[in-house]
Structure 1
Amino acid sequence: MATKPRSIFEEVDDVQKPVAAPGGIDGRGRGARGAIRVWLMILFVLVVVMITVGGLTRLTDSGLSITEWAPLSGSVPPMTDDAWAAEFEAYKQIPEYTQQNAGMSLSEFKVIYWWEWGHRQLGRVIGLVWALGFAYFALRKQIPAGWTGRLLWLGALGGLQGVIGWWMVSSGLRDGMLDVASYRLATHLGLAFVILGFIAWYVFLLGRREADLMQARRSGEHKLFSMSTGLMHFAFLQILLGALVAGIDAGRAFPTWPLMGDGFFPPDPFQLEPLWRNFFEDDGLVQFIHRMSGYLLSIFTVVVWLRGRRSPHVKTRFGFNVVLALMALQMVIGIVTALYSAPAHIAILHQFTAVVLWVAILRARYLARYPLPQSIRGT
């Protein structure tokens, strides 16, 4: 299309110029960020419930009540007396029954069966919620640019968790085993926290526009972010150590504090052979390592908090205050758990507080990287 010739006397400022549309950087590939965030929040709540139910399943010794892995047919519980009898008979063949629960009645078996079935069923529900949500947003082409891989990653981790769950249970069905292998339990719980961590991080990111995140990152505190990343890894290690304690019921040994029995160090800690087994299977040594790691984690939390309280951002400082408060609370609950030999209600509170603390650390780390805007008055 030909343009109209301009007069040599025409002022340059008279020429109309295209005006940039606001939010152009963030407008392309924005997707349904708010709706996906809500979907991830639902998954987050389900995973938290899953971790809690899993802890109760372990504390009630229910994890070995179902002796086969049937991802599809296992979703239907026994419906007849014959079906219940068959399940009970299968349980009677494993060492946990013959050496620990011999003489258990069918009604008592049903209690532990329902705990394990509910745990597995909740895993199926989580998988279904993820699959339906991902399919919905993908078919409607509402997934933001760069987020398809992240959401698929969550699904892959969920599938892997199911496989590891059976890998864990199968270890307790072998001769000589009354419980699942503690290191497999730690792997299973650790992956649950990894999944929860990714979901929480994605929820944080989707709470703001990409342009806002890019702008906030310029004000990020790299040193504080690095220290909080170290705190996150240290806390994860402590969670794994806690799983090792739970896996061999080490929390019920040495109900004393600050000493372990009559001394600082547990008596006879290296009786098992080969030597490495003591670090996974000796009650006293495993609990001792968990205690010492907890002390070091608390000290490092204070160090990170001292750096965080110097942040120029009010909400960042508050985030690290929350972490310090929760760490102190978790330490107190841990001591009470040990003193009372890990009763179920206190032990599950200890695990749940670990979940809350884990998310608080992730939130503080997020704020160190992407500070929230504040008014001059709040500076």
Structure 2
Amino acid sequence: MTRDKAPQAALARPQALANWLYVVAAMVVVIVMVGGITRLTESGLSITQWDLVTGILPPLTESAWQAEFDLYRQTAEYRFESGPAGMDLAAFKFIFFWEWFHRNLGRLIGLAYALPLAWFWVKGAIPRGYKLRLFAMLALIGGQGALGWYMVSSGVGTDLTDVSHFRLSAHLLTALFLLGGLVWTARDLRALAQDPAAQPARLTGPALVVAVVLFVQLLLGAWVAGLNAGHAAYDWPLMNGRFLPQPDLSRGWLWALTHDPFLLQFLHRWWAWVVVAALVWLARRVRKFDRAASVAIHSAFGVMVLLGIATVLTEVSLWVAVAHQLTGALLVASLAWGMHADGMRKGSAT
């Protein structure tokens, strides 16, 4: 039989595809971490324009640097938060670097996904039933770039001193959803490489419940970051010596639940324990047939809780807070692994 007439199963390379998706997933974890640095260093508005191609290079001359700095000085963030002394060009270059690095890492992820996908597609190496899923994740990566600029634009030409925390949460949660999809699909392909008859894992009810519980916590965390609510209190388990904060209810509960920094930090602190209970439950469900996934989930949430407390006690120390966000991404990857394992168990039991 010639290569052109070979069945698709013979041409498919599920293990190679899985390895590629794991690499892209690792890159997404890194960009989530860099995004945390960008937010914590107030770097997100340092680049006020979106140039998909020319933006790859940073300013190369002092006059070009000064032009970028002048654009930044027109933002409300600079006008209202730079202080009486303002900011010098050296300080601007520091925050510019992190936003520039964040954007270029996004471009790199796009290439690292699109080019191998095209190669596997042309070679007929994608197993039956996976093309639509892989293309959907490509579209999601492209959408992330547009969503990132939509987020930045909320702080350019407006009176906001930071980007919209709603847009920030959408940008972060979409990246984490992509991360979960990459890990899940890689696990499906790995199973297919080991057994050509293997079917994709199914999303189970218990796994979906745990995912929703974690989603709420991640959303709260994004809002805490976007509103600088981590600075609302630096003690733990109390908040400024009190267990219950005094939220600003002058504009109603809905506004307080989405804008009040004291209430949001309080909810983020204590919803974490609901998340822990849900994750322990799922980890115990999968322990007997995928112990590694169970260990990964336990390790990720244990470290994340400790780093969350440390972030408060260190008054939102940059690298402690960044480590907290990094561990959050690793927790999402671990949860996707555990959810997939639960779906594989369900499938094999029916």
TM-score, scaled relative to structure 1: 0.83
**What does the per-residue CA deviation read over 1:192-237, in whole Å, with 9 as the maximum and x for residues that have no partner?**
00111111111111112278375688xx9x9x94323321221122
**What does the per-residue CA deviation read over 1:73-125, in whole Å, with 9 as the maximum and x for residues that have no partner?**
21122112221111111111111111112521111111111110111011111
Name the amino acid aligned to 1:232. A
**Equivalence map 1:111-150=2 (5 Å):** 111-150=94-133
Residue matched to 1:330: 304
Inter-partner Cα distance in structure 2 for 1:364 and 1:257: 31
Q: CA deviation at 1:371?
A: 4.7
Note closer, same or farther for the CA distance 1:173–1:335 as it changes in structure 2 (3 Å cut).
Answer: same
Name the amino acid aligned to 1:340. T
Residue matched to 2:319: 345
**Structure 2 residue aligned with 1:86, among 67, 80, 86?**
67
Q: CA deviation at 1:177?
A: 1.0
Name the amino acid aligned to 1:144. P
Residue matched to 2:258: 280
Name the amino acid aligned to 1:48. V
> Relative contact order (C-alpha < 8 Å, sep 6+): which is higher?
2
Residue matched to 1:238: 217
Residue matched to 2:3: none
TM-score, scaled relative to structure 2: 0.89
The structure having more radius of gyration, on CA atoms, is 1
Q: Secondary structure at the match of 1:208?
A: helix
**What does the per-residue CA deviation read over 1:226-277, in whole Å, with 9 as the maximum and x for residues that have no partner?**
323321221122111111111111112211111222322112x024535432
**Structure 2 residue aligned with 1:183, among 159, 166, 171?**
166
Q: CA deviation at 1:303?
A: 3.4
Inter-partner Cα distance in structure 2 for 1:251 and 1:240: 14
**What does the per-residue CA deviation read over 1:116-140, in whole Å, with 9 as the maximum and x for residues that have no partner?**
0111011111111222112212222
Inter-partner Cα distance in structure 2 for 1:307 and 1:359: 17
Inter-partner Cα distance in structure 1 for 2:207 and 2:298: 12
Inter-partner Cα distance in structure 1 for 2:172 and 2:47: 19
Residue matched to 1:16: none
Note closer, same or farther for the CA distance 1:156–1:253 as it changes in structure 2 (3 Å cut).
Answer: same
Inter-partner Cα distance in structure 2 for 1:134 and 1:122: 18
**Equivalence map 1:183-222=2 (5 Å):** 183-209=166-192, 212=195
Inter-partner Cα distance in structure 2 for 1:156 and 1:250: 33
Residue matched to 2:52: 71
Q: CA RMSD in A?
A: 2.4
**What does the per-residue CA deviation read over 1:290-309, in whole Å, with 9 as the maximum and x for residues that have no partner?**
11211211222333345445
Residue matched to 2:29: 48
Q: CA deviation at 1:341?
A: 1.7
Name the amino acid aligned to 2:53. L
Name the amino acid aligned to 2:99. E
What is the total number of aligned residue pairs between the two structures?
Answer: 338
Residue matched to 2:136: 153
Inter-partner Cα distance in structure 1 for 2:62 and 2:295: 56
Residues 1:367 and 2:310 are matched in the alignment: no
Q: Secondary structure at the match of 2:195?
A: helix
Residues 1:266 and 2:245 are matched in the alignment: yes
**What does the per-residue CA deviation read over 1:303-328, in whole Å, with 9 as the maximum and x for residues that have no partner?**
3345445x4x3xx2452243234323
**Structure 2 residue aligned with 1:39, among 20, 23, 27?**
20
Residue matched to 2:89: 106
Inter-partner Cα distance in structure 2 for 1:169 and 1:129: 24
Inter-partner Cα distance in structure 2 for 1:327 and 1:213: 34
Name the amino acid aligned to 2:42. D
Residue matched to 1:165: 148
Note closer, same or farther for the CA distance 1:342–1:245 as it changes in structure 2 (3 Å cut).
Answer: same
* 8 Å CA contact retained: 1:272, 1:282: no
